[in-house]
Amino acid sequence: MKIVTTIEEIKKEIDLKKKEGKTIGFVPTMGYLHEGHLSLVERAKQENDVTVMSVFVNPLQFGPNEDYQTYPRDIKRDEELARQKGVDLFFAPTKEEMYPEEPAVTVKVTKRVDVLCGKSRPGHFDGVATVLTKLFHIITPDRAYFGLKDAQQVAVVTALIKDLNFPIEIVPVETVREEDGLAKSSRNVRLDEQERKEAVHLYQSLLMAKEMVENKVHDQEAIIEKMRAYITEKTSGEIDYIDILTYPDLKKPNALTGKIIVAIAVKFKHARLIDNIIIDLT
């Protein structure tokens, strides 16, 4: 595995691979890698000749009161995990390398962002779309891999690639979970022992909603209220949102048909956890 820290050098490495006729799979991350990230690497390695991973904690996607400074970082550990998984090129630029000065141009996302996490994090997905636009131009991958744990991000990136005509295939990968069902996340380390036990109930509430939908319960508010009561009873967390939307358009459905997403976010003392389940009713 080759570790690269500058844009100039990673572009040279990619150019060499492309001249050899090799396909490029790209896994963009913010580091502090876990099995979810590594499952993206496994998929990328299956489908491409060269796998590139980036680790960059992007300041543009953090709001003024969010956790940019305290976001977990361990670049040496990330390098070792990436090496073990067979990443070919490990791109770890500094903030100064990616943003040598305040950007004069950024990307504005106008749809799929006024719900779920985007509703309480204005500008977040503008930051995501801006950094991914930069990374897509730098890496020029054939395929880019994203975990469905953040299904709203997948929906936004799908629109970004389509609307800006990037010649890239987006590959969504199923959420990787702990044995008890908790979605793997870099923020799970911030849960205390009791919160960690409670956190499993996020996924349990989603399974409960899925069962109701599959049993022809069409009252969306009834499903949401049952989930809300369950989470309130089983956890000490504060519910940020529970919602049912079409996917990937992320609009309020008139009826439970087609592809829908049931999504939840819960705030614990030092961690905000998200999870979702996508149900195909076609």
Place of tokens 């820290």: 5
Four-residue CA torsion sign, 49, 55, 59, 64: positive
Question: Residue 186, annotated ligand binder?
Answer: yes
Closest CA to 37 of 150, 130, 134: 150
Cα–Cα distance, 161 to 169 (Å, whole number)? 8
Let me know: does 81 contact 184? Beta carbons within 8 Å: no
Question: Residue 187, annotated ligand binder?
Answer: yes
SS3 138: helix
Q: Which of 37, 137, 201, 218 is catalytic?
A: 37
Four-residue CA torsion sign, 115, 119, 123, 124: negative
Question: Residue 39, annotated ligand binder?
Answer: no
Question: Residue 21, annotated ligand binder?
Answer: no
124 flagged as catalytic: no
Question: Residue 150, annotated ligand binder?
Answer: yes
Question: Residue 149, annotated ligand binder?
Answer: yes
Question: Residue 37, annotated ligand binder?
Answer: yes
Question: Residue 101, annotated ligand binder?
Answer: no
**Which positions are annotated as active-site residues?**
37
Annotated binding site for (R)-pantoate: 61, 153
Annotated binding site for beta-alanine: 61
Annotated binding site: 30-37, 61, 147-150, 153, 176, 184-187
